[in-house]
Amino acid sequence: MSQLSINEIIKAEYIKCANDPIHFFKKYCYISHPQRGKILFNLYPFQEKALKLIGNNPYSIILKSRQLGISTLSAGYALWLMTFHENKTVMALATTQATARNLVQKVQFMYENLPSWLKVPTVENNKLSLKLANSSRILAKSSSPDAARSEAVSLLIIDEAAFVENVAETWASAQQTLATGGGAIVLSTPNGTGNWFHQMWVKAEAAQNDFLPIKLPWNLHPERDQAWRDKQDELLGDPRLAAQECDCDFSSSGNTVFYGEYIDYINNNQAKDPVEKRGTDENLWIWEYADYTKDYIITADVARGDGRDFSTAHVMDVERNIQIAEYRGQLSTKDFGNFLVGLATEYNNALLVIENASIGWATIQQVIERNYSNLYYTQRGEASVDSYFESYVDNSKMTAGFTMSTKTRPIVVQKFVEYVTDRSVTIQSKRLVEEMKVFIWMNGKAEAQTGYNDDLIMAFGMAMYIRDTALKFRQRGLDITKASLSNIGVNNVAYQGGFNSVSQNNENPYKLDNGIGGKEDIGWLL
């Protein structure tokens, strides 16, 4: 064979590699396998399909299971782009610089094992970057708002995007350079709902952005079966973590307070459109109208007034524990108070429970001025439900509204979780379900994911707390129905909330016989 024919063969092979990244991978890209060592990257069918989709679409978002080799696939695509194109800058972005560096190192390993006739000489090769003589390069960076601002990025690879801090800001800063012809590969296992990756994925599925959605669950891998999947539950120790790492399940992943299976149950069996949307803003949703034979509780959370949260309220059928109406809007504190009085009156003078923190007092004052008689009062210094059963202080001074404190808040959340877990509450609001999806544990505290609200959740949790407490009293022999309380004058209790007090009475009228020879204070219920 002549030298000329060898050169011709190499030229033809070079052109084939340039035109077909799959051929390039299978014949010349070596990877470091954790068990098998150095091997050719012999793509599985699902990897071939994913690579074709990436190559044909400038923006790809990949929702993936663990250990499918997709990060390695992205590294190989980056090397192919750099090898056969000039002046291409690939940026690898991850949660930390070390993680981003791992992707660069995968590119370097593949490059070092290419045949000499495929190698473009290097002008820079270190732990954080690889630059070729054709001015194409790849560099690793950790997440920051300015990570991609000063670079003319041709391809942005964001690895484990659901876990990257400041990813939204980084993405925004990269748009100016990407818009001139660049592209992006965004890949991750899920990490709960509501974060940037989840938002981009949902929009991609709805064709509302430029991303092509590519979903790669665990069972696409030909070497995995149900036994492998079952083993992951055992190895990972948490079904939610296994759902995150294997099933591409957003709702069951992350540090969500409510398990995905319970949210799915509510969505599939309970949540539905209201029979009426009332008000000029249509923010009062009604599923059932008032029934004079039933007792109702209304719990309300008052907006701070900064325009970023909402005043919310739930109407609950006490006996059936069913949500039958819900409000979510931005009324003024005075208008919200008037609204609550009207709503509570409509629902059989329902027990009206309003959180009294901060601006909530203004709404409570409006309710008092309207002379609404079934307003909930809290014992000053209330710590927990059980505090009522441990000791009592003969104190007629009660505080209007519900006191949400560092002690009561976790109990409120826990009661909500318990009722949902036991499937002993009916939630009909799709708005509430959406808040539950982004309600997460953050630094040991249950709260809405950044950029979202939990106003509906906290108001609903109050309802579960109040109902649970009422049932405990009932179990101790107290009749706490509306009929048994009809002769107790609410407005005889001193109001302590920063407004003018109503008339005081030295005798506490809220102590009733408990059926076992003593008295218990039930002023909390009023």
* Distance between CA atoms of residues 246 and 350, nearest Å: 47
Q: Which of 53-67, 329-343, 496-510 has the lowest mean pLDDT?
A: 496-510
* Distance between CA atoms of residues 452 and 66, nearest Å: 28
pLDDT of residue 157: 94
| CA dist 253 → 176, 258, 451, 517 (Å) | 33, 10, 18, 51
Q: Which of 229-233, 310-314, 342-346, 378-382 has the lowest mean pLDDT?
A: 378-382
pLDDT of residue 379: 67
Centre a 10 Å sphere on the Cβ of residue 265 and count the other Cβ atoms it contains.
Answer: 15
Average pLDDT over the chain reads 81
Task: Please compute the mean of the pLDDT values over residues 377-397 and round it to a whole number.
Answer: 46
* Distance between CA atoms of residues 447 and 309, nearest Å: 13
Q: What percent of the chain has pLDDT over 90?
A: 45
Comparison of pLDDT for 69 and 475, the residue scoring more: 69
* Distance between CA atoms of residues 222 and 516, nearest Å: 68
Position 526 pLDDT exceeds 50 = no
* Distance between CA atoms of residues 349 and 373, nearest Å: 8
pLDDT of residue 309: 83
| CA dist 392 → 48, 518, 526 (Å) | 71, 12, 17
Position 495 pLDDT exceeds 50 = no
End-to-end Cα spacing for the chain: 100
Task: Please compute the mean of the pLDDT values over residues 136-159 and round it to a whole number.
Answer: 79
| 253: confidence class by pLDDT, cuts 50, 70, 90 | low
Task: Please compute the mean of the pLDDT values over residues 375-401 and round it to a whole number.
Answer: 55
Q: What is the DSSP-derived secondary structure letter of residue 311?
A: E
pLDDT of residue 520: 57
Comparison of pLDDT for 157 and 520, the residue scoring more: 157
Amino acid 509 reads: P
Following DSSP, what letter does each residue of 132-156 receive, concatenated?
ETTS-EEEEEE--TTTTTSS--SEE
pLDDT of residue 445: 81
pLDDT of residue 53: 95
Q: Which of 92-96, 313-317, 364-368 has the lowest mean pLDDT?
A: 92-96
CA angle 455, 350, 313 (to 5 degrees): 15
Task: Please compute the mean of the pLDDT values over residues 443-467 and round it to a whole number.
Answer: 86
User: Residue 442: in which H helix or E strand, if any?
Assistant: strand 439-442
* Distance between CA atoms of residues 91 and 146, nearest Å: 13
Centre a 10 Å sphere on the Cβ of residue 120 and count the other Cβ atoms it contains.
Answer: 17
Position 479 pLDDT exceeds 50 = no
pLDDT of residue 71: 92
CB 493 within 8 A of CB 395: no
pLDDT of residue 275: 96
pLDDT of residue 261: 77
The tokens describing 245, both together, are 């790492």
Going 222 to 226 to 227 to 228, the CA torsion angle's sign is positive
Position 478 pLDDT exceeds 50 = no
pLDDT of residue 508: 52
pLDDT of residue 252: 60
* Distance between CA atoms of residues 231 and 336, nearest Å: 53
| 381: confidence class by pLDDT, cuts 50, 70, 90 | low
Comparison of pLDDT for 490 and 426, the residue scoring more: 426
Task: Please compute the mean of the pLDDT values over residues 240-250 and round it to a whole number.
Answer: 75
* Distance between CA atoms of residues 368 and 505, nearest Å: 17
* Distance between CA atoms of residues 135 and 199, nearest Å: 35
Condensed to tens digits (0 to 9), the pLDDT of residues 163-187 reads 887 888 888 888 877 877 889 999 9
Task: Please compute the mean of the pLDDT values over residues 4-21 and round it to a whole number.
Answer: 89
Centre a 10 Å sphere on the Cβ of residue 310 and count the other Cβ atoms it contains.
Answer: 20
pLDDT of residue 472: 59
Task: Determine how β-strand 311-317 pairs with β-strand 377-379.
Answer: unpaired
The tokens describing 105, both together, are 């190192």
Task: Please compute the mean of the pLDDT values over residues 213-238 and round it to a whole number.
Answer: 87
Amino acid 480 reads: I
CB 439 within 8 A of CB 448: yes
The tokens describing 363, both together, are 């709404």
Comparison of pLDDT for 146 and 259, the residue scoring more: 259
pLDDT of residue 516: 54
pLDDT of residue 489: 38
Please list, in sequence order, all residues whose beta carbon lies within 8 angstroms of the beta carbon of residue 490, skipping any fewer than 6 positions away. 373, 374, 375, 377, 526
Following DSSP, what letter does each residue of 328-386 receive, concatenated?
EE---HHHHHHHHHHHHHHTTS-EEEEB-STTHHHHHHHHHHTT-S-B-EEETT---ST
Amino acid 223 reads: E
pLDDT of residue 191: 82
Q: Following CA atoms 423, 426, 429, 433 in sequence, which dihedral angle do they give, to the nearest 10 degrees?
A: -10
* Distance between CA atoms of residues 68 and 185, nearest Å: 15
Question: Domains in the chain, please, with CATH?
Answer: 44-253 (3.40.50.300), 273-430+456-525 (3.30.420.240)
pLDDT of residue 397: 56
